[in-house]
């Protein structure tokens, strides 16, 4: 997928999600959907080739397409009598920490899955704690109160310490 820059790949994934009404990018569903889109810029990378790619190679290519991109989830929020639309941005894929040592790779992020949300929250807490550890001195030097950030780290990591891992 190196022939497409990140902005183009993001647009492809966004267009796919909008066209299908999905909130999650799944490589197999994308490959099957793309099969019905002969005018799509990525069509020839997956289909209509002389050396027809094997299914697993197509899935890997689709994962490469979405690697490092974000998904935007729009959901209707009904509070009181006025419904509104809430837009939230998530990574398209996450790498669960627990499965990394076992050779686990990236998994499609599902915003409706509590385990995906928990994994992303804990990773966010770890990275934010790392940021605190690295940049605390320069922030405090100019008088920035980091207590709210420390509280966010504790909530995200669901723990009592702020130490970076």
pLDDT tens digits, one per residue of 34-75: 989 989 988 888 887 666 668 788 888 888 887 777 777 767
Judge whether 92 and 22 are in contact, CB under 8 Å. no
| Predicted confidence (pLDDT) at residue 76 exceeds the cutoff of 90 | no
pTM of the model: 0.53
| Both tokens assigned to 141 | 């030097």
Give tens-digit pLDDT for 5-16.
Answer: 888 888 888 888
Give tens-digit pLDDT for 111-145.
Answer: 889 999 999 999 999 999 999 999 999 999 999 99
Look at residue 160 in the predicted model and tell me its pLDDT.
Answer: 52
| Predicted confidence (pLDDT) at residue 165 exceeds the cutoff of 60 | no
Look at residue 164 in the predicted model and tell me its pLDDT.
Answer: 47
Q: Where are the domains of the chain?
A: 6-110, 117-157
Distance CA 49, CA 47 (A): 6
Closest CA to 121 of 91, 101, 142: 91
């Amino acid at each position: 997928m190196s022939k497409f820059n990140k902005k183009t790949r993001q647009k492809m994934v966004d267009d796919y999600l909008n066209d299908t009404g999905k909130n999650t990018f799944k490589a197999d569903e994308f490959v099957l959907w793309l099969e019905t889109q002969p005018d799509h810029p990525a069509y020839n990378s997956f289909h209509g080739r002389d050396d027809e790619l094997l299914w697993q190679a197509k899935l890997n290519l689709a994962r490469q397409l979405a690697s490092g991109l974000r998904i935007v989830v729009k959901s209707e929020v009904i509070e009181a009598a006025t419904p509104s639309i809430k837009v939230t941005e998530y990574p398209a894929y996450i790498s669960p920490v627990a499965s990394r040592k076992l050779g686990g790779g990236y998994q499609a992020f599902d915003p409706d899955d509590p385990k995906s949300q928990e994994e992303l929250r804990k990773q966010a807490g770890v990275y934010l704690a790392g940021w605190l550890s690295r940049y605390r001195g320069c922030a405090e030097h100019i008088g920035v109160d980091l207590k709210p950030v420390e509280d966010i780290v504790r909530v995200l990591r669901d723990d009592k310490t702020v130490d970076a891992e």
